[in-house]
Structure 1
Amino acid sequence: MRALLLGIALAVIGCVVLPVSAYFLDEIETSPGSTGGLIVPVHLALTALIGAGLGTAVLSRDHSTRRRALTGAGLGLLGAVVGLVVMYLLLSGALVVG
């Protein structure tokens, strides 16, 4: 049950982290030093790190810390993919909210 709730929380976090990382990394001008190509890797890394931290804290203590962290990181990456898909659908107009 805890893993399911953690997965749902990380899917929501994955949807929120993508626009936040794009806000800080996207630049209007495409210059040689532009960081626009780092948005998705930073998004994946942040959600994996957040997932590892939450996985260690939330998941059952029956397993080792390493296993809980890896499970959380995997769920974080899954949440990042959900965030990417949701943002793609929102931006393409296939998913209309409201």
Structure 2
Amino acid sequence: MATASVAGQRWAAVLILLVLGILSLPMAAAPFGEDDNENWIIVVAVALMVLVGLVVGALLPGLAGPNASRARGARVGAVVGVAMLVLGVVVFFLLLSGFDGA
């Protein structure tokens, strides 16, 4: 039973972080899209995904393994959050530009 719970937590955490990773770049670009602030978009998106990953990993510590503490789950969640941001940027770019590029 514990293995199924860990697997469920892992899938749920990755799915949540993937959806938020796809949406984090447009959410970060909305307030920082002006000429003066556009250098902050990536920084804000990474910080946002680190924070969201920390929270998701702490709430679902099964992301880090079957016997993981909340602290380890939070650390792994932060890393997975940044990885899902990178994957989300790739998916977002492919949705906007297609496989032919910009």
Instruction: Give the TM-score normalised by the residue count of structure 2.
Output: 0.78
User: What letter matches 1:4 in structure 2?
Assistant: W
Matched, 1:40 2:16: no
Deviation of 1:87 after TM superposition, in Å, equals 1.6
- Give the percent of matched residue pairs that are identical in Structure 1 and Structure 2: 32
Q: 2:24 aligns with which of 2, 17, 23?
A: 17
Deviation of 1:91 after TM superposition, in Å, equals 2.5
Matched, 1:7 2:14: yes
Contact 2:58 2:70 (8 Å CA) reproduced: yes
Instruction: Give the TM-score normalised by the residue count of structure 1.
Output: 0.81
Structure 1 unmatched runs, 5+: none
Deviation of 1:12 after TM superposition, in Å, equals 0.4
Q: Which runs of 4+ in 1 moved over 6 A?
A: none
Q: For residue 75 of structure 1, what is the aligned residue in structure 2? A: 80
Report which stretch shifted further, 85-94 or 73-82.
Answer: 85-94
Structure 2 unmatched runs, 5+: 1-6
Q: For residue 55 of structure 1, what is the aligned residue in structure 2? A: 57
For residues 31 and 96 of structure 2, what CA distance do their matches in structure 1 show?
19
For residues 98 and 11 of structure 2, what CA distance do their matches in structure 1 show?
29
Q: CA-atom RMSD, angstroms?
A: 1.8
Deviation of 1:18 after TM superposition, in Å, equals 1.1
Q: Deviations over 1:27-68 (max 9, x none)?
A: 1xx3xxx11011112111101110111110112483223211
Q: How many aligned residue pairs are there?
A: 90
Matched, 1:94 2:99: yes
